Each structure stands twice: as C-alpha cells, then as structure tokens.
Chains A and B, each alone.
Chain A
C-alpha cells in the first residue's frame, strides 16, 4: 500500500484543531506549553466559543500564545493578566475570558493580582503553568522552585534560609471563596493530557455558566531551564515535583464556598 492510499479522509484519526494557527511554535522541544495550547485550542473549537473568547497572554515564554491560538488576545504586563482579564470580563460578561500564566508571572510578581481576582470570583479561567523556574529569562529561581533545586540564581540549590520556601500557590487559591474549581494537572503522558483536557473543559464550562474563577495548575517541565533531556525532565518531574505538588482536584464546588474541601 502506498502513502497516498493511506492519507484519506476516512482514515483520519487525529486532526489539528481549526482554532490552532499554522504558526510554527517557538517553544523548546519537550516543553509543556505546546501541549496545553493544543488542548485549549481543541476545547475552544469543540465548545464552539471561538467568536466569544478573549485570551490574556502573560510575560515569559508564553508571551506569544497569541500566535498559536486563533482568538482575540490581549498581552498583559508582568503578572497583571488577572487584572486585565477582570477589565475585559466585567465589561463583556458574554465573553469567555481566560488567562495563561507561568509561575514567574502568576506566583511572583503577579501574586497580588491573582489572589484578588480569585477572591472577587472574577468569571474567568486561569491556566497556570508551573515548571518551578523562570524559563524565558534563563532559568532563575521562581517562588515555586523546589527546596534544593539548582537554578541560575540558586547555583548551590534553593536554600530556605536564604531564599525562602517553595510556594504552593494552588493550595492558597483553593482557600479563596471566589473560586469554584481548583485543580492540579500535568501533561507528561497521554493519560495525563486527557485528564488535563477534562479539567480545562470543566473550567471553561464553569466560566460559561458564570460560576466564578476556575484555576488550573499544570505541573510542567522546563527541560532547557532544568538542563535535562525531555525524557529525563519528565522523570525528574514525576520523582520530585509531583510529591510536593500532588496532582488532583483541590476544590470542586461553587463560588461563595469559604474553603476548599481538602
């Protein structure tokens, strides 16, 4: 059988979402951003909400998210995406507004904005990519960097006495009554991608149902910043990140509930 006999519509088992552009991604091979972008684009297509979606792009590697997902976007300053999203969502209640932020953006310089947007219960989805390091600026320590983890600004490993403790931002968010759904996911294998997609779908549906803030952390690798191969980075994440940042739902309820169920 020749290739042209195989490439036929009836044999198609997987296709790129129409909400994904043809732009070649700038992310490093092995990076989780590409997978999460794909999942978000697929869901926007499947739920038929392309015309009412506004994405808020972060600062950091994912600053160019707007090049890959074919919806209207606003680029935000360092950490300010939740405030920008608040402005869009409050004045456009019929739109689906989401932010896409890394750990340097969300957990460090933007810790104020994310806490208050979640506490107000802004009707937005937050996708939080946590790889424990500043990727774009060259691998410096993030608030989420693990104890003992080597980065360019913790060359002898993170030392709590010197650098403070790694921050479990999602556990903090889960305490806020404005959130309806808070979960921690990963995308390092097929099963986890499917789970993550289900979680993001629930987050989007919650926003469409005006249930308040949905917050989805995706524990991720940064093989460039971690200085590992993609395979080794995935293994390292399973061995080191998951014990400290355990996967699963932290809160699945409705806006107004004072604390998480955990």
Chain B
C-alpha cells in the first residue's frame, strides 16, 4: 500500500507539472499573438516611432517568439516573472500584493459556502421533498443561474446604499486607507496584529458582502452535491439498518452518513475553492477589490503580457494543486480506494 501510494503520488505530481507547463505554453502563445499593444500603452498614443521602437526593444518584443519564450523560461527558472508594464514593478511583487486580497476574499467565501452549503444539503436530503428541501433547491438553482455581476450590484444597492449594513466597495473605508502596514497582506489579519480593531471591524464590514456573493454560487453547488451524496447514502442498507435499530435521523447523518461522504465532500470543496480563487474576477471588479482578478483584467486591457502569463500560471497552479491535494486526500481517506490499490 505504502509503495503504491508513493508511486501514485509521484505520477500525479508529474501530471501536475506537465499540465502546468502546457498551461504556461498556451498562455504565453495566446498572449503574444493577441492584437494588443503594450508598447503604445507605455509610450503613449502620440509618441514618435523612434521612442516606440526603443521601448519595443527594451521589452524584448522585437525578438522572435521562441526566443522570447526561452528568455521567459530562463527568467522563470530564476524566480523572475518579468516586469509589469502596468506598474513598472516586478510581476512577482505585484502578485504578492494582489494575491492576499483575493486569497482573503476566497477563503472567507469558501468558509461561508461550506458552513451554509453542507448543512443545508444534509437537511434538504433528510427532509426530502419538504419545504426546506424545495427552498434549498431553489436557492441552489438561483445561485447557479444568476450572474454574479447582477448580484453584486443589487447587493450593494440594498445592503450598502439602502440599509447601510455593510461597507462599500474597496477593502476598507477611505479614511482608513494606508493606515495598516501590510505584513501578511491579509487586511483582517494585519489589522488585528497591529491592534487596529476599529479597522478590523471596518474591513470585515467591507469583505462580508463580496464574500457572501462570491460564496453563493459555490454554496449552491455544494448544497446540491451534499444533498445528492446524502440521498445516495440514506438509501444504503447500513443506514436503513441503523435507523431500524432506533438511531435518530440526525444521529444517522452525523455518525454514519457524514463520515462516508466526507471524502467526496473534500473533493468538491477543493474544486470550489479553486473556482472561487479563479472566479473572483467579476466580484473584484464590482467591488473595486484590488485582487488578482482585477489585476489580470487590467493587464489584459493594455496587453501587459508578463502580468497576464504570471497571474494565469499562479491561478492555474493553485487550481491544479487543490485538485491534486483532493486526489491525494481521496486516496488516503477512502477505504475503497485503499482496497483497490491493494
């Protein structure tokens, strides 16, 4: 079992790396053939051809694409993602700044969607076809079909502009801007570390709405999957037997069903988490959230290829890593998988 696991682990890791390399190649090629003009964006619309050409050379865009690619790979091997046109900073330092904002948002969103979605799915399965089940199904359907963009605007109009319950766009109210020195980059954590509780509460008020809205679509998915996993288990003999022995429905769920669907749940939670990190783009734009989604969108607008490629790779890497970890967890936790391996 142990040897097989290591081999399996290695195989999956290799798979991860190959996928990542393919992603890198594809993004790079697409990035270079897009009809965008980063040079024009830097030197300005009215710059003369000489200044234009000089900047083109400085960015290395006059080289053949394969040479650009090798130069890029070479830089990458030294941990250098190149310089971002947009900011003039090394892309890695830009990403180090933008990523925590997205990470904070997505993590809160995955926590919310798990703590709401899983119980809701369980309850819906337990009281199949009851009112609560119908509500859960409608909630899930709505979450799946209404665009995040629309939700974001409506949420702001109601809870921010109308009811004044939450903070507006941005990570914190403007007059608190710049008062917390980034340490981890996670504003909620940093403000607490620096004893700025007022800013902590303010930041919490700002993150809660985008996090809920971002969480909603994921929650819909988690609810639906939990419900169907649970229903499947509820019809199994062992649950029926347990119920016959007088175990309450709640007891059966907690003691028997939950442990059995845990592995499947981990997989979908991991997928959801990856999806949240990746899918924060629209939410970040609506909420003026200075995260990786907004960074990528702006980079795309001006054809800032170093930024786009690096951000795509980071997001892709996280997505693949989460899938990889889910696979590993699956193999480690699921008794049937262990059986099969043996």
Chains A and B bind each other: no
